[in-house]
Amino acid sequence: RKEVEQDPGPFNVPEGATVAFNCTYSNSASQSFFWYRQDCRKEPKLLMSVYSSGNEDGRFTAQLNRASQYISLLIRDSKLSDSATYLCVVAHTGTASKLTFGTGTRLQVTL
Amino acid sequence: ETGVTQTPRHLVMGMTNKKSLKCEQHLGHNAMYWYKQSAKKPLELMFVYNFKEQTENNSVPSRFSPECPNSSHLFLHLHTLQPEDSALYLCASSVPGLTLPSSGNTIYFGEGSWLTVV
């Protein structure tokens, strides 16, 4: 079983739609959770951290379910510029060197 | 614009060649990383340096040889590579022993070096 699993997609959605991605992780000792965004042929960039209580940043909402070992990312009112690959990232310690990346979920927002 | 700069951006090399990838960070960080990203695979951590000292080698074959002369520069020396080593090689930097999540701090990636081994 992969440490971090994501549906690779692609998710094709029209502008303005709401889309949700899920990610599951296998290590129950995981402590830190993140969503990164990676544009085509670019480097990954931190989108948002995921906190136990859930957190929101504008149109983006992240949720963590420790019991079921999954995290989610919800994007509301999708924009064309949201088209990218979204990487689920988990760390089983508090340090950056222990980040484990998922393969990513590709989102394509269309007119 | 990124605070982590990688050169070259694209590299094609033969299996008998020797080449190097260079990374420079302008963020005042003291931890630097090499990651490998292959098609349809997740990012794989290769090496970690803290204050110029290698603190992690993730079972990387010896045909990849890192060098960290100072906290701002990181190299990846390549020799006798195989076609399956073709990938995107990403350099990253952070505050050493970065504790996550930490407000205002994260791991920053360079734009990557696309390597093709023929």
Contacts of A88 (CB under 8 A, 6+ apart): A4, A6, A21, A23, A25, A33, A34, A35, A71, A73, A101, A102, A104, A105
The pLDDT tens digits of the residues spanning B20-79 come to: 999 999 999 888 999 999 988 899 999 999 889 998 898 999 999 999 999 999 999 999
B66: number of CA atoms within 13 Å, CB side? 28
Give the neighbor-by-neighbor strand order of the sheet with B73-79: B4-7, B18-25, B73-79, B64-70
pLDDT at A95: 60
CB contact under 8 A, A43 and B112: yes
For residue A48 the two structure tokens come to 């948002």
Q: Which residue, A1, A32, A13, is CA-closest to A74?
A: A13
A18-22, B11-15, B50-54, B99-103: range with lowest mean pLDDT: B99-103
CB proximity B60 to A under 8 Å: no
Question: From CA B114, how far away is CA B118, in angstroms rounded?
Answer: 13
Question: Which among A25, A86, A99, A106 is the top mutation candidate for probing chain B, defined by the most B β-carbons within 10 Å of its own β-carbon?
Answer: A99
Closest CB to A96 among B100, B110, B112:
B100
For residue A29 the two structure tokens come to 């000792």
pLDDT at residue A45 above 70?
Answer: yes
Query: Could you check whether the bond before residue B101 is cis, i.e. omega within 30 degrees of 0?
Result: yes
3-state secondary structure string, A4-49? EEECCCCEEEECCCCEEEEEEECCCCCCEEEEEEECCCCCEEEEEE
B17 to chain A nearest CA, in Å? Answer: 25
